[in-house]
Amino acid sequence: MSTPINQQVAHILLEKQAVILQPDDPFTWASGIKSPIYCDNRQLLSYPKERRIVAEGLADLIKTYYPEATVIAGTATAGIPHAAWVSEVLGLPMIYVRSKAKDHGRKSQIEGKLSPNDKVVLIDDLISTGGSVLEACRPVAERATVLGVAAIFTYNLKRAENNFKEAGQTLHVLTDLHTLLKVASRDHGLTPDQLETVKTFHHRLNEN
């Protein structure tokens, strides 16, 4: 029996250190929060076989949940390469969305061709609160129809769930923190005590 895609992707993220669990030596996030988990999906750029699995997984999500999609959009900068690979798998046009419009040239925030009849799925690598990708949805929605968001990984934060509901957008992901912890415990040496440390951190983060 084949391994479910959410577990396959969780294994890839752990094996290639796109997600690192360090309960005994926590990372310091830019916000100053001490975290036992760090996610950097840009590591996948260096692994063609694994990034292909991820791209095909995202493409399958889009075919399942957004079959009417006509354009794939990447969020700058981390979502851009994944959007390119997914659009190649699906044979669809691609655009990308800057965090803000350029202050020179055509002063574009959206790069690539987009028409009012287009139906767009945005690709992001990581969902924490969802703020950045939802911000990217806005300029696209002004010019076309946004179907929703597909992403590689989410921290399963309630704030993200609430933000997507408030924005009226849907989200589908390849894998999440709950699956990753299960795979890490089973296959990557995460001890019961370490697992509890990560779960406690996640619970506290969800309370804020």
What is the per-residue pLDDT across 10-59, written as a single tens digit (0 to 9) for each? 999 999 999 999 999 999 887 788 899 999 999 999 999 999 999 999 99
Does 123 appear as a known binding residue?
A: no
Whether 113 and 140 have beta carbons less than 8 Å apart is answered as no
Does 46 appear as a known binding residue?
A: no
Structural domains in the chain, CATH included, are: 5-200 (3.40.50.2020)
Does 188 appear as a known binding residue?
A: no
C-alpha distance from residue 113 to each of 121, 141, 146, 164, 202 (Å): 14, 14, 15, 26, 40
Rounded Cα distance, 123 and 175, in Å? 14
* Average pLDDT for 105-134: 91
Does 185 appear as a known binding residue?
A: no
Does 187 appear as a known binding residue?
A: no
Does 128 appear as a known binding residue?
A: yes
Does 129 appear as a known binding residue?
A: yes
Does 108 appear as a known binding residue?
A: no
Contacts of 4 (CB under 8 A, 6+ apart): none
Rounded Cα distance, 22 and 126, in Å? 19
Mean pLDDT of the chain: 94
Does 126 appear as a known binding residue?
A: yes
Does 32 appear as a known binding residue?
A: no
Does 152 appear as a known binding residue?
A: no
Q: What is the DSSP letter of 42?
A: G
Confidence grade of residue 108 (pLDDT, cut at 50, 70, 90):
confident
Closest by CA to 66, choosing from 174, 175, 176, 170, is 170
Rounded Cα distance, 148 and 169, in Å? 5
Rounded Cα distance, 125 and 201, in Å? 22
* Average pLDDT for 82-89: 98
Does 132 appear as a known binding residue?
A: yes
Burial class (CB in 10 A: 0-12, 13-18, 19+), 122: buried
Model pTM?
A: 0.94
Whether 49 and 192 have beta carbons less than 8 Å apart is answered as no
- H helix count then E strand count, the chain: 7, 10
